[in-house]
A and B are shown apart, each in its own frame.
Chain A
């Protein structure tokens, strides 16, 4: 049964069961992932999957259900379950489906040439990447993971109010994770990159060398004395930190009272140098989108401008509650989720200085290049964090020896006012990105 037949039967069954407006959110994807080890293919994964999320308004409430099996039996399941779910929802705000916008931006996310890249080409790239890592330096002992993956997929949202949104994408990504050892200590380094458009631009040699250099630089490390230090977070560590707290800008989180930014629109929440944007309309980024999970058109949104909080991210429901318009930030964790709020391409606006400038301007401090335990050591509500970190000493403006077995702790809300420098090294490789930043002082626990 194809998706259009399935949709017609589903909507007919829904009507019969008393649903008013109904919507399907359909996702299908295909991918091939190759991993190599010691110049042999270690594993090969071929994936083909997808599913349908159904939602509809029964009396006044929205009911949700989903299935991965596109067959007649599932139609019964979707309608019955969504109806039951609608009947138990207790919110008094009435949700409506979106009938579509007149205008949607156009960005190219599907490239035929990428879709046609063969498994042999992926394998060859993985071999080249592993080889580049192993020959970079004898200290690189083992490549733990070396994978290249190609994926393509499509998203379709259609409802009984006439909405029709469709988008397809292609993506090739390459990642390597390796281990270096000098006989005394062991360290790991990883790097990845992606392309939506041009496989030849994926520089696997550079990916491998970056990972190898990273692992080697982390050898010969020791902890340091506990105390307060100026901290430079390299772009990747800064990205980890920003990513852990992005939820505080979600209109949904704010409305539930789980964000300390609640009620602060128009107020200063950070230094003058802080501008945070969500821009889904850039080309060749992973989070690019012209419509969100409700089919609402996306736009470039300024969330914080020069330290002043301008807006939260909203979907149609949270916007209505807040008395504003949707920012096109309806998110859905695939067909097996419900509509919530999520960033597409959130980033901290880069500054003028280089990372080297941030280091040079630091008399005694620490450069942090990796944070660990962001799954647990973050309290997104209070803003407090305490995270295991790896980095380097900065002595009189120069990088010194490596540091491990330390934790860095502080509070995100306070940090926003204490950023002394923002570098010009923004790299967009995920939905949330930050350039390197320098923070006045944070607590380091070590020896």
Chain B
């Protein structure tokens, strides 16, 4: 993508005003997205993204510049212009670039370009047919399929010169149920870090039927009650609770500037002793995994919280400088348009001792949040919120009627301390996470767990 010789010249230009670190990130990505509404293919788009990002540090100061023009002359110009933001003297040092090959731990068996669009549409149509066939109440579907292959080259003045290839694909199934003027949707969106072998093995019908079932359930559900109750959060995407309530607050992006409630709390109890959590970028072919992060460092399994005690943060190079700590292989960016920063990969809470049945049975009254939507957090205050798509009321230890339209809110550390039961059924699910370095694929995971008290924002008219 860019020869060692040119890379070296660009890094030289970047360090021409005394910067102490320079990095180059080249991205060449091809993608395809298909959209089918009501069984008819309505949109098909293919694209090629190409750009180069150049980053320079001097101490805690960073300059970032990016361009679509990857010619040698332009890159040297861009690097030179960027270096002008640093007012030092002398030439920064560049170690010999070593062409390091990091074997890909996440196999790509079938490249997306080797499968015809017709085949991709056939997969989508199976989802449409299965969802529509689930029940007459299902009146519309919206199915999309996206795949991409991102080739990157990452090199820096510390001698790194390496390439990586990342391939992901995702089938998003939305089923709509209608009754009179009311419309509700159910959603399932399985995805994979790897090739299209995933789609060949996927039980598409099961996912489509589940989206349809969820839509039908929500359509017939009444509004959730409002107030403070015990909340049982289902395994899988329930992990968005930890992602918002805690994960973001452990990123160097806020910890390094002491604008996180978790700053300066290493080795302190920040959660219930039942909580042990990791962020692991190495899980084979998991949606949020990477062979190497966007600074060229191998991903690793980072212990965040052990039995309630804070054990680690997620750290990128620049954040690490400020914190005086080593990077954790967690530096990510959506594309060359963003300077990378500390982000989550696959974040999850470890399984505990309770069975799901025990958790429900020991709850006299509360809410069972089966499927969660997205959420957000203010890392400075720790206040977070997330949306519940499908929920049930728990009465006398039994799952009772379905309810809809609730948002759960709380404060990160407070909620982590109120986790009073943790199930033995850890499960990971996929999502997209937006933050300062763009939107990146992540997985969230958790076993079923119970929070003794959470504010449930329903809309029951009483």
- A203: CB under 8 A from chain B? no
**A64 close to B44 (CB less than 8 A):** yes
Inter-subunit contact B81/A40 (CB<8 Å): no
B191 located at the interface, meaning its Cβ lies under 8 Å from any Cβ of chain A in the complex: no
B117 near A85: Cβ-Cβ < 8 Å: yes
Q: Which residue of B lies closest to A441 (CB)?
A: B461
Determine the chain B residues whose CB is within 8 A of the CB of A81 once the complex forms: 32, 46
Q: Closest chain B residue to A51 by CB distance?
A: B68
Question: Could you say which interface size class chain B belongs to?
Answer: 35 or more
Let me know if B85 and A44 touch, CB within 8 A.
Answer: yes
Q: Are A373 and B183 touching (Cβ within 8 A)?
A: no
Binds A, one of B102-110, B277-285, B324-332, B402-410: B402-410
Contacts of B43 on A, CB cut-off 8 Å? 64, 89, 338
Give min CB distance, B436 to chain A, whole Å.
9
Tell me how far the C-beta of B342 lies from the nearest C-beta in chain A, rounded to whole angstroms: 15
Segment among A10-18, A130-138, A151-159, A254-262 that sits at the interface with chain B = A254-262
Cα A87 to Cα B160 with chains together (Å): 44
CB-nearest residue of chain A relative to B47?
A66
| Contact between A406 and B455, CB atoms less than 8 A apart | yes
Whether the Cβ atoms of B44 and A446 lie closer than 8 Å is no
Kindly report which residue of chain A lies nearest to residue B39, judged by CB atoms: A90
Interface centre among A68, A387, A446 (most CB of B within 10 A): A68
> Are B227 and A376 interface neighbours, CB within 8 A?
no
CB of A5 to closest CB in B, whole Å: 15
The answer to whether B47 touches A67, judged by C-beta atoms less than 8 angstroms apart, is yes
Q: CB within 8 A of B50: which of A45, A69, A91, A226?
A: A69
In B34-49, which residues have CB < 8 Å from any A CB?
Answer: 34, 37-38, 40-49
Picked from B41, B385, B405, B460, the residue with its CB within 8 Å of the CB of A388 is: B385
With a CB–CB cut-off of 8 A, which chain A residues contact B85? 41, 44, 46, 119
Asked whether B184 lies within 8 Å of A382 as measured between CB atoms, the reply is: yes
The interface residues of chain B lying within 8 Å CB-to-CB of A91 are 40-42
A187-B387 in contact (CB<8A): no
Interface residues of B in 64-115 (CB under 8 A from A): 64-70, 78, 81-82, 85
**Do A257 and B48 touch across chains, with their CB atoms under 8 A apart?**
no
Residues in A with CB closer than 8 Å to B395 are none
Q: How many residues of A contact B (CB 8 A)?
A: 75
Complex Cα gap A41–B57 (Å): 12
Stretch from A282-290, A407-415, A425-433 at the B interface:
A407-415
| Chain B residue, CB-CB nearest to A337 | B45
**Contact assessment for B176 and A381 in the assembled complex, using a CB-CB cutoff below 8 Å:** yes
* Bound Cα distance A166, B166 (Å): 37
Contact assessment for A223 and B407 in the assembled complex, using a CB-CB cutoff below 8 Å: no
The reply to whether the CB of A356 lies closer than 8 angstroms to some CB of chain B is no
User: Which of B41, B47, B81 sits near A65, CB closer than 8 Å?
Assistant: B47
Q: How far is the CA of A315 from the CA of B67 in the complex (A)?
A: 32
B159 to chain A minimum Cβ distance, whole angstroms, is: 24
- Of all chain A residues, the one with the shortest Cβ separation from B49 is A68
Q: Which residues of B have CB within 8 Å of A409?
A: 226, 405, 407, 457-459
Could you say which of B46, B48, B63, B376 contacts A376, with CB atoms under 8 Å apart? B376
Which of A85, A144, A407 is close to B385, meaning CB atoms less than 8 Å apart?
A: A407
Indicate if B417 sits at the interface (CB-CB under 8 A). Answer: no
Residue on A with the closest CB to B81?
A46
Q: Indicate which residue in A41, A48, A85, A444 contacts B78 across the interface (CB closer than 8 Å).
A: A48
Secondary structure at the B interface, as helix, strand, loop or mixed, is strand
User: Across the interface, do B407 and A381 meet the contact criterion of CB distance under 8 Å?
Assistant: no
Closest A residue, CB atoms, query B387: A376
- Is the C-beta of A443 less than 8 angstroms from some C-beta in chain B? yes
- Hey, which chain B residues are within 8 Å of A90, CB to CB? 40-42
Is the Cβ of B67 less than 8 Å from the Cβ of A49?
yes
Chain B residues lying within 8 Å of A311, measured Cβ to Cβ, are none
Q: Are B40 and A49 in contact (CB under 8 A)?
A: no
Complex: A22 Cα to B378 Cα, angstroms: 46
Q: Give the chain A neighbours of B387 by CB distance below 8 A.
A: 373, 376-377, 386
Q: Mark B426-462, 1 if CB is under 8 A from A, else 0.
A: 0000000010000000000000000000011111110
The reply to whether the CB of A56 lies closer than 8 angstroms to some CB of chain B is no
Minimum C-beta distance from B228 to chain A (A): 6
* Closest chain A residue to B456, Cβ basis: A445
Are B339 and A45 touching (Cβ within 8 A)?
Answer: yes
Contact of B458 (CB < 8 Å), options: A119, A142, A445: A445
Chain B residues positioned under 8 Å from A375 (CB to CB)? 374-376, 434
Distance A387 CA – B406 CA, assembled complex (angstroms): 9
Is B60 touching A84 in the complex (CB atoms < 8 A)?
Answer: no
With beta carbons under 8 angstroms apart, the residue of A74, A337, A443 that contacts B226 is A443
Knowing A43-B63, A45-B339, A46-B82, the reply to whether A64 touches B45 (Cβ < 8 A) is: yes
Contact in complex: B68, A69 (CB < 8 Å): yes
Whether A377 lies near B385 (C-beta < 8 A) is yes
**Could you tell me the distance in whole angstroms from the C-beta of B141 to the nearest C-beta in chain A?**
11
Q: Which of A27-52 contact B (CB under 8 A)?
A: 37, 40-51
**CB-defined contacts of B203 to chain A, threshold 8 Å:** none
Q: Is B21 an interface residue (CB 8 A)?
A: no
Q: Which residues of A contact B192 (CB under 8 A)?
A: none
Query: Is B47 within 8 A of A42, CB to CB?
Result: no
- State whether B51 touches A65 (Cβ < 8 A): no
Q: Which residues of B contact A74 (CB under 8 A)?
A: 48
In the assembled complex, the Cα of A68 lies from the Cα of B47 at a distance in Å of 8
**With A and B bound together, what is the CA distance between A370 and B376 in angstroms?**
13
A377 to B378, alpha carbons, bound, how many Å?
Answer: 16
Report B-chain residues with C-beta under 8 Å of the C-beta of A48: 65-69, 78
**Complex formed: what's the CA distance from A343 to B455 in Å?**
35
With both beta carbons as reference points, the residue of chain A lying nearest to B459 in the complex is identified as: A409
Q: Are A445's CB and B457's CB within 8 A?
A: yes
A376-B374, A386-B457, A443-B460 known, 6 other contacts, Cβ within 8 Å: A37-B257, A46-B63, A81-B46, A223-B455, A338-B45, A445-B457
Give me 30 A-to-B residue pairs in the complex whose CB atoms sit less than 8 angstroms apart, sorted by A's number.
Answer: A37-B257, A40-B61, A41-B61, A42-B60, A42-B61, A44-B61, A46-B65, A47-B65, A49-B68, A64-B46, A66-B47, A67-B50, A74-B48, A88-B117, A88-B121, A91-B40, A119-B85, A186-B380, A256-B37, A260-B181, A338-B45, A372-B385, A373-B375, A376-B387, A405-B410, A407-B407, A443-B226, A443-B458, A445-B455, A445-B456
